[in-house]
Amino acid sequence: MAENSALRDGREFYFTSQDFDRVRKLIYAHAGISLSDSKQELVYSRLSRRLRATGIRTFSEYLALLESDNAAEWEAFTNSLTTNLTSFFREPHHFPVLADHLRSINNKHAITLWCSAASTGEEPYTMAMTVIDALGRDAAKVSILATDLDTKVLETAKEGVYPLERVSKLDPELIKRFFFRGTGPQSGFVRVRPELRDMITFRQINLLHSDWQIRTPLDVIFCRNVMIYFDKQTQLDILKKFVPLLSSDGLLFAGHSESFHQADEYFKLRGKTIYELSPKYKLKRKNEESR
């Protein structure tokens, strides 16, 4: 019955509500992403491309392929279902706070920042511009780890090449300072300058996994506009894992619609969508640091 209705809708592939439920379960278990009922059409359109690419004719056959643990298809499936919207200087109020924080901890120790949902790279490159602006020569002592689950966006991020429109709203002086303008076949594109690129290490990390293998302590964690895809329990599990990684005076930056009341025991709001460790965990981290 459901399959007939899929055909009646003039769709290219059978896509039943049972197929949608299977997709939901798989992506939730693998990436923590919770898909609401309203995402059925989006899932159909994104995964149809995978059916075409693999030559598979039905969703149930495609899902069986995934369930047989086909690693390459798992990567493509995951990349298809992530939402990667981002921009340079998105939520700009965060960057002056980051700059002040960097100045306040400069010369105390080597500085490490983590951008945990880096997408196509605009966010970590904005962090790097802020570092250079705030610290000048001392920026050489800073390292940024930029990670994402999606391997395709990480390739774009590593490349650091963007269509001109992506930077069109930035101050022309800033563009001149931090980007090369493409010429010839590269005209219409900009490339980030090596001083930004060299500050950043790009790596795949699934926030859902238990062992991220990150060198600590971290001075700053950017975790913006990714928690909205997770349910509250998954958010809390991730936030708890941030605690032992952050330095006692570290900051956590969240996205504009993300609030972490469920983690009040661990994090305290310090400014608009900016968190620090709660007094209890700040003290705990301080004691650990002095050992």
- List contacts with ligand SAM (CB under 6 A): 31-33, 82-86, 90, 117, 119, 123, 148-150, 153, 206-208, 224-226, 229, 255
Minimum Å gap between C-beta 128 and ligand SAM is: 14
**Comparison of 6 and 149: residue with beta carbon closer to ligand SAM:** 149
| 46 labelled catalytic | yes
Minimum Å gap between C-beta 142 and ligand SAM is: 19
Minimum Å gap between C-beta 15 and ligand SAM is: 23
Q: Which of 46, 166, 181, 191 is catalytic?
A: 46
Q: What letter would DSSP give residue 150?
A: -
Q: Which of 19, 148, 150, 219 is catalytic?
A: 148
SS3 71: helix
Residue type, 164: L
Minimum Å gap between C-beta 214 and ligand SAM is: 13
**Comparison of 6 and 43: residue with beta carbon closer to ligand SAM:** 43
Q: What is the Cα 144 distance to its own chain's centre?
A: 13
Query: Smallest Cα–Cα separation from 275: which of 287, 291, 259, 288?
Result: 259
**Comparison of 90 and 268: residue with beta carbon closer to ligand SAM:** 90
Give yes or no for a contact between 116 and 223, defined as CB atoms under 8 angstroms apart.
Answer: yes
* Tokens 């993300």 belong to residue: 258
Q: Alpha carbon of 283 to those of 122, 174, 238: distances in Å? A: 34, 39, 21
Q: What letter would DSSP give residue 133?
A: H
The CA distance from 124 to 212, in Å, is 18
| 9 labelled catalytic | no
**Comparison of 34 and 278: residue with beta carbon closer to ligand SAM:** 34
**Roughly how many angstroms between the first and final C-alpha of the chain, as a whole number?**
66
Task: Specify the pairing of strand 246-254 against strand 274-277.
Answer: antiparallel
Minimum Å gap between C-beta 228 and ligand SAM is: 8
**Comparison of 156 and 278: residue with beta carbon closer to ligand SAM:** 156
Q: What residues are labeled active site?
A: 46, 148
